[in-house]
Chain A
Amino acid sequence: MKLTQALKMAAKSISGNKGRSALTMLGVIIGLAAVIILVSYAQGQNKAMEAYYESLGENTITVYASAYRDIGVDIAQELSNYCQQISEYVEGVTPNAQLWNINLSYGVQTLGQDQDYDTRPTFYLGSDQFALCNNYSLMKGRDISYMDIQRLNQVCVLGAAVADTLFGMVDPLDKTVTVNGKPFTVIGVYRPKGNGTTTYNEEGTNWQEVEMSRMDRIVVFPYSLSRILNDNQSSDQYTVKAKDSKSAKLAATYIKTFLQGLIPEDSGWVDVYNEGVYQEEQGEANKLQQYFLGGIAAISLVVGGVGIMNIMLVTVTERTREIGIRKAIGAERRSIITQFLIEAAMICGIGGIIGIIVGYLGTLIVGKLAFDIVLIPGAGITAGAFAISVALGLIFGMYPAAKASRLQPVEALRAD
Chain B
Amino acid sequence: MLIDIKNVYKIYNEGLESEVRALDGVTLRIDRGEFVAIIGASGSGKSTLMNILGCLDVPSYGDYVLDGTDVTELTDRELARIRNREIGFIFQGYNLISALNAYENVELPLIYQGVSILKREDLVMEALERVNMADRARHRPSEMSGGQQQRVAIARAIAAHPPIIMADEPTGALDSRTGKHVLEILHTLHDEGTTVILITHDNTIASTAERIVRISDGQIVADSKDDDRLQAEVAREGGAGS
Contact = CB atoms under 8 A, between A and B. Distances in A.
B76 interface: yes
A4 to B, nearest CB: 10
Interface string A9-29: 100110011000000000000
Contact of B99 (A12, A330, A408, A411): A12
A327 B80 contact: yes
A331 B80 contact: yes
A335 B108 CA distance: 12
A217 B56 CA distance: 86
A255 to B, nearest CB: 78
Contact of B114 (A1, A325, A326, A327): A1
Interface residues of A, number: 27
A410 B166 CA distance: 14
B111 A5 contact: yes
Interface stretch (B36-44, B82-90, B131-139, B175-183): B82-90
Contacts of A333: 76-77, 80
Nearest to A2: B114
A322 interface: yes
Contact of A12 (B56, B80, B89, B104): B104
B188 interface: no
B81 interface: yes
Given A329-B89, A330-B80, A409-B57, A13 B99 contact: yes
Most central of A322, A328, A408 by chain B CB within 10 Å? A328
Nearest to A412: B56
Interface residues of B, number: 28
Most central of B56, B80, B156 by chain A CB within 10 Å? B80
Given A12-B99, A325-B95, A409-B83, A330 B109 contact: yes
Nearest to A18: B99
B15 to A, nearest CB: 20
A330 B95 contact: no
Interface string A389-416: 0000000000000000000111101000
B77 A330 contact: no
B85 A413 contact: no
Nearest to A20: B99
Contacts of A324: 95
Nearest to A321: B95
B112 A1 contact: yes
B104 A410 contact: no
Nearest to A16: B99
Given A16-B99, A330-B83, A9 B89 contact: no
A367 B4 CA distance: 75
A341 B51 CA distance: 29
A330 to B, nearest CB: 2
Contact of B58 (A2, A329, A331, A408): A408
A328 B99 CA distance: 17
Nearest to B83: A330
A332 interface: yes
A329 B112 contact: yes
Interface string A126-167: 000000000000000000000000000000000000000000
B79 to A, nearest CB: 9
Contacts of A329: 83-84, 89, 108-109, 112, 156
9 contacts: A5-B111, A12-B100, A13-B99, A16-B100, A329-B112, A329-B156, A333-B77, A410-B56, A413-B95
Interface of A: 1-2, 5, 9, 12-13, 16-17, 321-322, 324-335, 408-411, 413
